[in-house]
Amino acid sequence: MKKNKKFKIYFVVLILYVIVFFISREKFFEAINSFYLVLKDMIQVLPPVMILSGLISVWVPKEIITKNFGKSSGFKGKLISIFIGSVSAGPIYAAFPLTQTLLYKGASIENTIIILSSWAVMKVPMLIVESKFLGLPFAVSRYLLTLPGILIMAYFANRLLSRKEVLDSIDSLSGRVLEIEEILPGFNCSGCGYSDCSEYAKAIFYENEIASKCVKQKEEVNFKINELLNEE
């Protein structure tokens, strides 16, 4: 269903381009030129970001992401998120693959929003350019007023949304895997034969691995996983 919806969007855009072509050739070619410029920019920016996201996904242990960006990372997690967003280069759409990877690896909704928002409006290069054109007092004042707004927005978004809801909206299967992972005790002891609880949860859902390999879990946990799988 989701794939069909995506194709519907492409079809609607194509129809709009055809309509514009017949209404105004000049507007049509302006739109094509704008599309080309955006596409050219994305081709230059996105490949390195996708490579970086892939490296983070493979090489950075989930425990590190959870410790520094997870819901229990506290004030330190917020500071790191602000720092990453502020020093990052590239347009805002370059942040989406990276933050999606962090979210999959255990980052909280709150810190994900802080990274995106800082990337969009608090980048250090932007401060330099802004202070040149509008003056340093203006730039610093805006930064100091923007930061509390970002933190407040992230706090309330974290209250309204859960990681499961967000992951489920990206990929319903990812949401199911997260449900299994949250049932597991989270010791990441490798007693089940997998590197961590996340990998074990994926094996249970995707590879029909038995749910009783966890050496730490109690019988009711095993029951909950099987109950969830039976619902699927």
Q: In sequence order, what E strands does the chain have?
A: none
Where are the chain's structural domains?
Answer: 2-59, 62-161, 172-231
Q: Token digits for 99?
A: 């933050």
Nearest to 120 by CA among 86, 144, 147, 149: 86
CATH architecture, domain defined by 172-231: Orthogonal Bundle (1.10)
pLDDT at 2: 45
CA dist 204 to 100, 119, 213, 226, Å? 23, 36, 10, 10
Distance CA 127, CA 61 (A): 33
Regarding pTM above 0.85, the answer is no
pLDDT in tens, the chain (232 residues): 444 555 677 788 888 888 988 898 888 888 888 888 878 777 776 677 677 777 776 677 777 888 899 888 999 999 999 999 998 877 888 889 889 888 888 899 999 999 999 999 998 888 888 998 999 999 999 999 999 999 999 999 999 988 777 877 776 666 677 778 878 887 888 888 888 887 888 888 777 788 888 887 767 777 788 777 775 5
Is residue 206 within 8 A of residue 197, CB to CB? The reply is no
pLDDT at 6: 54
